[in-house]
Amino acid sequence: MKKILSLLLALVLVLGCFAYAEEKLTVFISGSGNPLEEDNVLLPNIKEAMGCDVEWTVVSAEYETQLSARLMGGDAPDIFTVPYDLAPTFVQQGLLLNIGDYLDQMPDFVANYTESQMANCMVGGEMYLIAGRPYSAYADVSIRRDWLDNLNLAMPTTLDELYDVLYAFTFKDPDGNGKDDTYGLTGKGLSAFAPFLRAYGTSVPDTFLIENGEVVYTSIDPDFKEAIKFIQKVITAGIVDPEIMSNQGYEHCDKAYNGKAGILVQSFWEIFKATYMEQILEINPNAKWELMPGVAGPGGRYDQVYDPTSASGYFGINADLADDPEHLATVLKLFNWMCTEDGQKGTLFGTKGVHYDLDENGNIVPLPDLSKITYSYLYCLVGRDDIPYLKAKFSYLLDEIEYCGQMTTLSKYNSKVTIPETINLADITTYAEEELTRFIYGERSLDEWDSYVDTILNVFGLSTYLESAKAELAQKGFLG
Ligand SMILES: [Ca+2]
């Protein structure tokens, strides 16, 4: 087949048609939400930049089976999604090109990837993957600035000040309607307590942290036990939504929109995106929401918990291309181009004049049609430089997005931990959440903490999970 194609190319060259007509890039990725070809505005940009045909297959079900079929059939795509857990196997089977050997052909890629983003591309110390850059940390605690102002209170900076604010938001009529109709804080499930947990240097259940070179699993973290004592005080005082554990769907958001709580624990998008803010201001034109920084406590001060080791996707390059340097150069050019300003615009923002314009300083001004591009993650394989992207796309949220980019975050490492087949993580998490809830609400005495830890380790098999997590994080170089 290859021979025939070469002959065809020779013919094409002789006839003086497009010199690159024969070359075709094949991309085979896992995902969903790919638009119809006639509605796809990103793929044409990629074809134009590459100067050749590009076949972009998006597989929404049974990706691994379909990829196997391609590989076994001798029809390996140039670029394909690598399920992260399978990366070592793929390397062993010789399927993945060692991209590290070719970085000199990808200067813009190298320039735009941080050290930790490069580290995400490594398998066993060699660069066998392109890991799409992860999304930024997004703030998830918002507060009614107008309520603070009404009560002459400052933004809380410590756990004790937070307690006082919650108390005043509950008992001092922050909305001035003369009714006892507000609570300090609302949210859904245990994550509603995240602001307290972070002040103790911990996080919601099933989070892997690393403290002093040691793996910490939050569901049995002694810091979580300490945080519970503080959360119990808050609950006993009646200053948070009593329905936190039973709120369904977006009930907690609705309570905040309707002025029933002064602090909402939920991704900031659900307050600040125009569609939500319009609802909020329709209900109360004086409502003024602001992002609330983390408060300091015994465990430090963190605005959010964030996994710096995650990726927006993992992609490999067909190892056979080592024997076809010209075609390989086109494949490498694709990844490199995607990291350039042009490539980011072409794969995230669509077409100038249709989806965006540029102001006099060259900044992107979104046009209404930009909202139709909901599938950029299927095309921008290198991920995006998230904060500049968001500032361009949500230009009315510059302060909030800037804040997200500057948050102090507590690092978690879950995306680099593989769940062993012998354990049932859902059972472990359910048990942890149920028992931690009972501790928090005083239905089980904290005197039984050690017994809880023993049960989850030995009856639910958490000890197996922890052992393998420690070995894996050590092997991947995260334990210093
Ligand atoms: Ca009131």
337-346 pLDDT tens trace: 999 999 999 9
Same domain for 359 and 216: no
Tens of pLDDT, residues 362-376: 888 889 999 899 999
Asked if the model's pLDDT at residue 43 lies above 50, the reply is: yes
Using the predicted structure, report yes or no on whether residue 139 has a pLDDT greater than 50: yes
Q: How far is the CA of 425 from the centre of ligand 1 (A)?
A: 43
Pair (187, 251) in one structural domain: yes
361 confidence band (pLDDT: 50, 70, 90): confident
* Residue ranges with CB less than 5 Å from ion ligand 1: 173, 175, 177, 179, 181
Share of the chain above pLDDT 90, in %: 89
- Tens digits of per-residue pLDDT, 22-31? 899 999 999 9
Q: Which residues contact 393 (CB under 8 A, 6 or more apart)?
A: 349, 364, 366, 370
On the question of pLDDT at 18 being above 70, the answer is no
What was the pLDDT predicted at 397?
Answer: 96
Question: Domain range for residue 291?
Answer: 141-302+425-475
Is 210 inside any structural domain? yes
Confidence (pLDDT) at 10: 52
CA distances from 19 to 16, 45, 333 (A): 7, 19, 18
Same domain for 192 and 327?
no
How far apart are the CA of 199 and the centre of ligand 1, in A? 29
* Ligand 1 geometric centre to CA of 257 (Å): 14
The helix/strand/coil state of 266 is coil
- DSSP strand E in 82-229: where? 122-123, 126-127, 130-132, 141-144, 183-186, 208-211, 214-217
pTM of the model: 0.85
**Average pLDDT of 128-149?**
97
pLDDT computed for residue 85 by the predictor: 87
Same domain flag for 224 and 290: yes
Give yes or no: residues 87 and 182 share one domain: no
For the domain that residue 70 is a member of, what is the CATH number?
A: 3.40.190.10
% of residues, the chain, pLDDT over 70: 96
Assess whether 274 and 203 both reside in one domain. Answer: yes
**323, 355: one domain:** yes
Task: Determine the average pLDDT of the residues in 147-172.
Answer: 98
User: What stretch of H or E contains 315?
Assistant: strand 313-317
CA 263 to ligand 1 center in whole angstroms: 15
What is the distance in A from the centroid of ligand 1 to the CA of 277?
21
**Separation of 153 CA from ligand 1 center, angstroms?**
16
Q: Inform me whether the pLDDT recorded for 14 exceeds 50.
A: no
d(CA 239, CA 342): 51
Lowest model confidence (mean pLDDT) among 147-151, 235-239, 367-371: 367-371
Query: How does the average pLDDT of the chain come out, rounded?
Result: 94
Residue 15 lies in a domain: no
Confidence of residue 13 (pLDDT cuts 50, 70, 90): very low
Expressed in angstroms and rounded, the spacing between residue 286 Cα and the centre of ligand 1 is 14
Within this chain, do residues 172 and 210 fall inside the same structural domain, yes or no?
A: yes
Contact 430, 460 (CB under 8 A): no
Cα 150 to averaged position of ligand 1 atoms, centre (Å) = 12
Q: Is residue 415 part of a domain?
A: no
Residues 89-131: pLDDT tens digits? Answer: 999 999 999 999 999 999 999 999 999 899 999 998 899 999 9
pLDDT band at 4 (very low <50, low <70, confident <90, very high): low
pLDDT at 21: 55
What is the helix (H) or strand (E) element at residue 283, kind and residue range?
Answer: helix 274-283
Distance 170 CA to ligand 1 centre (A): 8
Given a cut of 60, whether residue 11 has pLDDT beyond it is no
Q: How far is the CA of 238 from the centre of ligand 1 (A)?
A: 15
Instruction: State in Å: Cα 134 to ligand 1 middle.
Output: 42
pLDDT at 159 over 80: yes
Residue 470 lies in a domain: yes
Same domain, 210 and 250: yes
Counting the structural domains of the chain, the total is 2
How close is the Cα of 248 to the center of ligand 1, in Å? 24
